[in-house]
Structure 1
């Protein structure tokens, strides 16, 4: 069977109990992504109150321990779980994340997916390994007719395109 799209465990997480993303119901568009380890997400309001604006203005990257493969004309859209803002005061600061098809197996981090979040609650938030933190939705896209086809090979990890 030819692989078209799916998820794999990043090599450094092999044998560590990482679960591949899956949909909750047949009608679910998103695959649930989970934290690969326990991680603390600092409260931006608490940091401001304590006089630490540097911490308050930083996002937290939550590792998932998984990577994704897909055709060239697709990307994985990362969206916040709908319950995160109401129940946990957790937000994706730019609204969504984009995982490009050439992010898979890149030289820097093997294509591991990280979910960028901010905690706008009053207290630091502990995310536990295995907790669902975001959804990934496979999405097709089109390109312009007269596009220059001389592209560089992606070599970096998180935030590496467009450098």
Structure 2
């Protein structure tokens, strides 16, 4: 089953020189996002920053966009997204921004137009929470964090 959704994208003024989000391979699930900054940003180890992308979205109800790290930046430089995955709700119409942190050991410099993260669209099911006095029993029960052992 191949589901298809139309998502509107608006390039924000002053960003005509930047690429819009795009997939870097035919079967990629994520659209790469580009830094819409006017000046270089140096992110020191342990620091975080919010980087604009230069676009806004309009998604239909039932979709969300998730902002995720780029694996190359994470592996090579320790740059990743905070609040991962970041959620862009279907009713948000502001500029998409990416919250990045430097977990590496060296400062990292971001340049205008650099790929900084990826955006993956997900279906959001309609969920109705029903309050009950008792939950159904399972073998696991209330066992939480690490209760099944090291592996």
TM-score range, shorter chain: 0.7 to 0.9
Runs of 4+ residues deviating >4 angstroms? none
Q: Deviations over 1:78-126 (max 9, x none)?
A: 110111111121011232110011111xxxxxx1111101101222211
TM-score by length of 2: 0.74
Whole-angstrom distance in 2 between the partners of 1:140 and 1:26: 20
State the alpha-carbon separation in 1 of the partners of residues 66 and 82 from structure 2.
Answer: 14
Structure of larger gyration radius: 2
Q: Which has the higher strand share?
A: 2
* Correspondence for 1:153: none
RMSD, matched Cα: 1.9
Q: Distance in 2 between matches of 1:124 and 1:82?
A: 18
Can you give the 5+ residue segments of structure 2 that lack an aligned partner in the other structure? 131-151
Q: 5+ unaligned residues in a row in structure 1: which ranges?
A: 45-55, 105-110, 148-163
Answer yes or no: is 1:74 the counterpart of 2:63.
yes
**TM-score where L is the length of structure 1:** 0.69
Q: Distance in 1 between matches of 2:15 and 2:97?
A: 17
Tell me the number of residue pairs that the alignment of Structure 1 and Structure 2 aligns. 124
Structure number with higher helix proportion: 1
